[in-house]
Amino acid sequence: MWWLSKAAVENAVVARQMRSFFKGLPADVRKEPQQVAQAYGAHLFHRRRRTLVDEKRFAASRFHVGIGVGAEDFARLTKRAVLVSDTLLLSHNGAGRRHALTRLAQRGWHLPQTAEEERTTLPTGSSTTEHLHMHCPDLDRLGHWLLQTEPLLRAGCAWYLPTYSVSSRTQHYGPSADPNDYPTLQGRSDPTMHSDVPGLLDFAASGGRVIAQSHTPAVTGQLVIPVIEDLELPFLEGVSLETFSAVTVEEFDSYRAFRDWLRMEMANIDTALNAEEIEKEMLKSSLRIKDEVRGMQAQMNKIRRKRAVAVTGAVVGTVSASLVAVYGPALQSALTAVIGGAAGGLWSAFQAGADNSPRTLRDNAWYYVWTLAQSDRRNP
């Protein structure tokens, strides 16, 4: 299964933190997306140092940073941006109201009292409590995104950067006029302070690679051209984010091969001099994708026909067949010496099956796209 795959790791720092988060996520919390989002925010904040967990390693990594991405655009942009990015970093960058995550600390003091005062006088002092908050337009939507992209996050292909703030409230207490009353309480809330966790633009400045939507104003620095949004990718349209995430991790080698191909296409489009040339190059890329997917489908159909024919040539039972498949030529030679030519037909049949197996195509860049297209057809 995808969550056990050790090979499917794009960014080890992100993968380690994401796997730790999902491993510790209780089953009952998974049922409540808002709680998932809050648990995620609390997980990435280092309570003692008041910074991002593993912040130095995060800061040393290079990400493709999503700029100007609205909460409703996460799913669409994720599917398209992951096709050209190493590790996608998304954030709401402080937008939205604040949501309480956890209490960070509580400290207080009181005036020392004599034994007589402790018996006759109410104490005087204060208590200060600090709370951690995360700013987000829609916790429910964020929680759904986290759950749907779990395979991608576990593989270090994507992650979400929360924006934090810390609030503190101080309560003073002391004796009232009536000694039988409880201590008088007077509270004061200090101004909310944003944390020192690096923001989205900090990562964009250090990484230098930006994913922008077509309606986003130009951003200074090296941009990944947003034409990936306009490129016709029909194999994505009917595929849920959850299915896309799972297929990407399950077919990781094929995904990487396709990503390299698509990056080359983007580089070619980048050299176009005007809007008309860009449009022509995008059309060419779309047609090449369609043609390659049709070619992959033809290969799969051909393999199925060959395998059906090859299986009819088997002349020995299942147990012997399994042994031949495992031990190969050595066992084939032994069987030939013992039972003559019977093993020849058996070996030929299984060799044909191996030579014409879909497994031999899985490293092909177009196997990944073909698999997504098949998922689209299975989920109309």
Same-domain status, 271 and 296: yes
Specify the DSSP class assigned to residue 83. T
Asked if 71 and 138 touch (Cβ cutoff 8 Å), the reply is yes
Same-domain status, 202 and 279: no
pLDDT value, residue 24: 94
pLDDT per residue over 130-157, tens digit each? 889 999 999 999 999 999 999 999 999 9
Radius of gyration of the chain (CA): 30
In angstroms, the CA 361 to CA 356 distance is 9
- For the chain, the domain total comes to 2
pLDDT value, residue 7: 64
Same-domain status, 204 and 308: no
Residue 183 lies in a domain: no
**What value, to the nearest 5°, has the Cα angle with vertex 236 and ends 6 and 33?**
65
pLDDT per residue over 46-79, tens digit each? 988 888 998 888 888 888 888 777 777 788 888 8
pLDDT value, residue 163: 92
Contacts of 60 (CB under 8 A, 6+ apart): none
Give the domain range for residue 347.
Answer: 231-380
Identify which of 373, 74, 351 has the alpha carbon closest to the alpha carbon of residue 251: 373
Which amino acid is located at 185 in the chain?
A: L
pLDDT value, residue 324: 44
pLDDT value, residue 304: 60
Domain end residue (candidates: 206, 229, 252): 229
Asked if 325 and 333 touch (Cβ cutoff 8 Å), the reply is no
Same-domain status, 339 and 276: yes
pLDDT value, residue 126: 74
Residue 296 lies in a domain: yes
Same-domain status, 297 and 222: no
Positions in the chain whose pLDDT score sits under 50: 1-4, 215-226, 308-347, 349-354, 380
In angstroms, the CA 223 to CA 372 distance is 27
Residue 107 lies in a domain: no
pLDDT value, residue 220: 35
